[in-house]
Structure formats: structure tokens, C-alpha cells
Chain A
Amino acid sequence: MGTLVEEIFARRVGHSVEPGEIVLLDVDAIMSHDNTTPLAIKAFREIGKPLRDPDKVVIHFDHAYPAPNLLAAENQQKITRFVREQGIRHFYRRGVCHQVMIEEGFVRPGGILIGADSHTVTYGALGAFSTGLGSSEVGAAWVTGKTWFRVPQTILVRLEGQTQPGVYSKDVMIALAGQLGMDGATYRCLEFAGSYIDELPVHARIVFANMSVEVGAKCGLIAPDQRTVDYLQRETKAQPPFEVFQAINPRYERVIEMDVSTLEPQVACHPDVDHVKPLREVAGLEIDQVYIGTCTNARYEDLEIAAGILRGRQVAPYTRTLVTPASQTIYEKALANGLIQVFLDAGCTVNAPGCGACIGRHGGVLAPGERAFTTMNRNFIGRMGSPDAEIYLGSPATAAATALAGKIADPRPYV
């Protein structure tokens, strides 16, 4: 009974739960990556108790991988030693942690996952409760196998209608972020529903869950349905049976409704994700670097959309265009189906799967005064390098059109 998050928690604890209540939950997986694992190891060592279940621990190298400098290399060496010492089997160097978590089958409807990364919320698109925590809590969960949560209130986001060609789930989510504001859902669960979500392929639903933290949410959930089950079977190693469930007599704190059918492409402008404008208001702004990548929008379908626009054309001469597939699996598929060749022919630089340019440490760092257009989820000042650089966010289609023009451009003429 209750909203989706209440339903997931109730299944786990064996009785119904109410917002505000504190619950202690067994977790299915505890995720961390090269950036957050060193502090988790420190906390773990300080607690001084054994690892409860090494098979629940999942560690990824993705944030600065392959190591771009000595410090990163030493960190990764430390982590690798720890992984070997503790007998941790789930150790990946195959791309962005969140995409790999889904592909490798850790995410299932009704699951409960935590991770030392704010975008751990991503798995909510498949009906799992997942959220980001700090490294100490990850270190603690290695010892206890559990974590505590306060049952959050839920805001229902009902999205109706179908988007026009050239408008994607990223545009819808950016519009929502503009409406909700950066703390519009703090401590809340966002539940996405409506005819638009029902018809939306799972890869595109992931954008909503992924960016729910951008408005402060604890999680962003979508009820698992037949599409979810098909996706899990087709695209991941997750083992059936998969549960399909919905909110039952839910009580929402509030309901937000949006008709997506008239929406134009949107851009989140420097320097905040809620600084949102319709693309036409910023079209023509010169761009030094286009980045198609990250856990938000570098899935195969995103690359396909971008390649569709770039095929047979050339990116603008002064605009560096970087493509970083979210995972090795996606990279392989893109290679097999000729997408990588399309990017290379168009003059793009294709980087190794991972977070790439997203955190300003390698793979496309911005210089002072530069402006980037990216498919990322956040545009904080200094995120991609210089604090004097600007970051604009939009869909993969807008990114590709922008790469061709060298300035922010509308993708609709190409689709």
C-alpha cells in the first residue's frame, strides 16, 4: 500500500510504512567508484569489523579511468589491493558505474541499492529504490549490509502526451528542473507517471531518474511494467523473475502535471540546472566543446540519435566534439553497427567509456572562458575544469546539431 517508494520499503521490511518513519533496510548492492572508494576503505578500516558479504560490494573505476595522473593511479592501486584482499568479485572497469550496474544485472524492480555517488538514483527508472550516500556510509554498509532511511514524501510528476520529433526525454526533464528548482524535491521521492512515461522506452526513462537528484530528490521512481521486464531481459544480465508493481492508493504530497506535446527543445544554461530556456533563446551561442557522454545520455540509442545527425557531415572546425560511450557494451554495439565510424568520419574524438569529461579531470577539460554544450546532468561552475568556463545542457540531438554549427543549434531540421 502506498506510493512506489512506500511499496518498495514495505516489501522489504514486511509491513506497511508511513512517510517520516525510519526504516532499517537490507541492501542488495553497495556501489562505489574510484573517486569515493578510498574514503569508504578508510571508514571501513576505522570501524575495524569484517566485510559482511563481499558479493554485495560493487566497485567501479570510471571517474578518472584510465588514471590520468599519479595520484589517481595510486588511489586505484590502493583500491585494487583492497578488492583482492577482501575477495570482492564485482569489480568493473567497463564504463560509467550506473550504466554498468544496470547492464550487469544488479538492478531489479523492487530492489534496494545504495552507492557513494549522487546519481545512484538512476536505477529508479527500473523500479528499484536507489540513492546516493557518502563514503562513510558505504564503508559502514560493507560491515552491516544495511542502511537506514527516513521514508520520504512523494511528489507525483504526471507527464501526458507525446513529444514532437526532435524533442526527447532530456528536454522534458530539463523543463521540469526549471519548474521545480534545484531544491524543489529535497528529501522527497519523485514518481514519474502518465501516458508519456507509459509509452517511453526504458533507456529514455532513465534520464528522469538520473536527474531527479538535480532537484534534490532522494529517489526518482517509475513503476516497473512490461517494458521494464523486456528491457531487463534484452539488455541486462539480471535474472528473472521480475516483479511488476504499482503504487496502491498512494497519498502524494503534491502532483505536478505537464503536457509534453507542445514542448520545444530545452537548454539548461550556465550556471545552474534550473536556469532553463527554450533552445531558440540561446541558439547561436558559440560553443568550444561538445560532449556527448555520461550516465545521463550516452546509451546506444543516444549515440544513434547523434550519429543520425552527424552522418555524412563535418563538425565545425573550432568545436572539439567528444563522444564517450557510457559503457564498454555500448561501445562494442556502436562499433559493430558503424556508429563509431560515423563519429570519426564527422571529425569527433571518441574516448574510452567512463565519466570522461564530466568531472573536469581528464578526457576534455575546459579552459577559462570556454563554453561547452553537453548531454550531462549538471552544469555546476568548475565542473568540467576551469571555474571560468560555461556549461550548457541538452539532448544528444541538440548536442549533435550544435557540433555541426559550432554554436547552439536546433536539431529539428535534421530529424
Chain B
Amino acid sequence: MGKAWKFEDNLNTDEIIPARFNITIDERELASKVFCEVRPDFAPGVQPGDVVVASWNFGCGSSREHAPIAIRGSQVRCVIAASYARIFFRNAINIGLPILECPQAAAEINEGDEVEVNLTSGEIFDRTTGRSFQAKPLPEFVLKIAEAGGLVRFLKEHSLEELVE
């Protein structure tokens, strides 16, 4: 269980991690700057297991993987958003950052709510309000990558062809 940190619509990759900090690929260093401009309280305050709750088009903008890596580095349990920008979605799956798509949860979970998430089933439970939500299931081939823990790990054991079988 963890606390919800709420974010707005169209949160872009520069807002997740400003371009000037992308010079490093060190996960901890990136995590120390994550959301630094839109939520300066996030990096110092986030606890392992907290969840990022965002709205529509989360992660739009650049293709930089630094953005999901910075979020992963903050040790949040997952991101819940109404929808994701295309490249961010792929990147999150590829680097093994759990993400759930659920417009209702994104709209109804409040800042600071205690939230429980079952990543396998996609069930989301807001303890504070007592409401539960069901996230969209991931497409099967995407699940294969996610279950392996990301694309790199998947490719160590498998071939790309297995994705579309």
C-alpha cells in the first residue's frame, strides 16, 4: 500500500525529468530530480510503494527513457493514468516500470489517498475512499515483455518473433 501523488493532463517528459538532467543515466541521480519542477516535494517525500496518479496523455514529448527510469528509480509501485503517450507507454514496459491505464481511477483517486494495487489483475483499491477500480488489461504480447521484467531481460531468453506468435 502507498500514498497517491496526483499529476495533471499532458504531463510531458521534460516535466518528468528536465532535459538538462538527462546527461546522466544513473537511476538514483535521475530519481533525485524526478518531477522537480512540477512537484519539488515529490523526490524528497516519495516512499517506496507510493503510486503516481496522472491524467490523460501522461509522458508526452521526448522519446527519452530517462523519464520512466527516473520514476522507477523513485521506487513507486506503479503509475496509474487515464492514458499514456505512445513512446512513454512502450518505454515504461521496456524498462519494466509497471503502468496501469484507468481513466476512472485517475479521475477519482485524490492526492494523498492510500492506494492498493494488484499489478497482475489490474485491480486498484482506494482505501481512503473505499472505492475500487479495474485497469485495462495489457495486450498479450506487451504482457510477455512486462512479465519478463522489460525488453532487455526478455531478449536475453527469447527472440522478438515469440512476441507475435
Contact = CB atoms under 8 A, between A and B. Distances in A.
Contacts of A23: 164
A143 B152 CA distance: 11
Interface in A24-51: 24, 35-36, 38-39, 42-43, 46-49
Interface residues of B, number: 43
Interface in B50-104: 56-57, 60-66, 68-69, 83, 85-87, 90-91, 94-95
Contact of B63 (A132, A183, A216): A132
B65 A135 contact: yes
Contacts of A49: 155
B138 interface: no
A160 interface: no
A71 B25 contact: no
Contacts of A69: 23
Interface stretch (B10-18, B107-115, B126-134): B10-18
Contact of A183 (B15, B20, B56, B152): B56
Contacts of B151: 43, 136-137, 140
Interface in A385-414: 385, 387
Interface in B125-162: 139, 141, 150-152, 155-156, 159-161
B95 A134 contact: yes
A183 B64 contact: no
Contacts of A150: 139
B139 to A, nearest CB: 8
Interface in A349-398: 359-361, 378, 380-383, 385, 387
B152 A182 contact: no
A46 B152 CA distance: 7
Contacts of A46: 152, 156
B120 interface: no
A381 B23 CA distance: 18
A305 B47 CA distance: 53
A72 interface: yes
A134 B87 contact: yes
A187 interface: yes
B122 to A, nearest CB: 20
A148 B87 contact: no
Interface in A178-228: 182-183, 186-187, 216, 218
A378 B61 CA distance: 8
B163 interface: yes
A361 B18 CA distance: 10
A146 interface: yes
Contact of A186 (B19, B66, B83, B150): B83
Interface in A311-325: none
A140 B156 CA distance: 10
A47 B22 CA distance: 23
B63 A383 contact: no
B63 A133 contact: yes
Contacts of B61: 118, 378, 380
A139 B159 CA distance: 14
A148 B141 contact: yes
A57 to B, nearest CB: 17
A117 interface: yes
26 contacts: A24-B163, A39-B25, A39-B65, A42-B25, A48-B156, A72-B23, A115-B63, A118-B61, A133-B91, A136-B94, A137-B90, A137-B94, A147-B160, A182-B10, A182-B60, A186-B86, A216-B57, A272-B10, A360-B19, A378-B61, A380-B15, A381-B15, A382-B15, A382-B20, A382-B37, A383-B14
Given A47-B152, A133-B90, A140-B94, 11 more contacts: A36-B64, A69-B23, A117-B63, A134-B95, A136-B95, A183-B60, A218-B86, A378-B61, A380-B12, A380-B15, A382-B18
**The 8 A-B residue pairs with the shortest CB-CB distance in the complex, in nearest-first order:** A134-B91, A183-B57, A132-B63, A134-B65, A380-B14, A118-B63, A136-B94, A71-B23
Interface of A: 22-24, 35-36, 38-39, 42-43, 46-49, 64, 69, 71-72, 75, 115-118, 120, 132-137, 139-140, 143-144, 146-148, 150, 182-183, 186-187, 216, 218, 272, 359-361, 378, 380-383, 385, 387
Interface of B: 10, 12, 14-15, 18-20, 22-25, 37, 56-57, 60-66, 68-69, 83, 85-87, 90-91, 94-95, 139, 141, 150-152, 155-156, 159-161, 163-164
